[in-house]
């Protein structure tokens, strides 16, 4: 039996990149490499609420306002 054909394709250039829990961009390190990475898009630190001093929910809310504000220009 040859199961090498059993591959899962990852779309685009996001291979090896981790998904930011805040802004949903593939902007941080993948898996364990992404722990305590700071997202360059939304500046969320991927270590839970503690290092960010706000909750993920609050950060996402702020991000939403930021995006709305940017879109005004
Ligand atoms: Zn982010």
> Given CA atoms 51, 57, 61, 63 in this order, what sign does their dihedral have?
positive
CA distance 31 to 25: 14
Q: What is the dihedral of CA 9, 12, 18, 21, to 10 degrees?
A: -110
Pick 35 or 14 by higher pLDDT. 35
CA of 9 from ligand 1 middle (Å) equals 24
Mean pLDDT, rounded, for 14-29: 88
Cα distances (Å, whole numbers) of residue 43 to 23, 47, 50, 63: 9, 12, 14, 10
User: Distance, CA 38 to ligand 1 centroid (Å)?
Assistant: 8
3 or 67, greater pLDDT: 67
Confidence (pLDDT) at 26: 94
Distance from the alpha carbon of residue 63 to the mean position of ligand 1, in angstroms? 9
2 has pLDDT over 80: no
pLDDT at site 5: 59
């Amino acid at each position: 039996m040859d199961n090498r054909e059993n591959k899962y394709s990852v779309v685009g250039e996001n291979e090896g990149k981790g998904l930011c829990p805040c802004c949903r961009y593939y902007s941080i390190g993948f898996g364990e490499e992404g722990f305590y990475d700071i997202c360059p898009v939304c500046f969320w630190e991927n270590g839970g609420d503690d290092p960010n001093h706000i909750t993920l929910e609050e950060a996402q809310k702020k991000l939403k306002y930021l995006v709305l504000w940017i879109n005004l220009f």
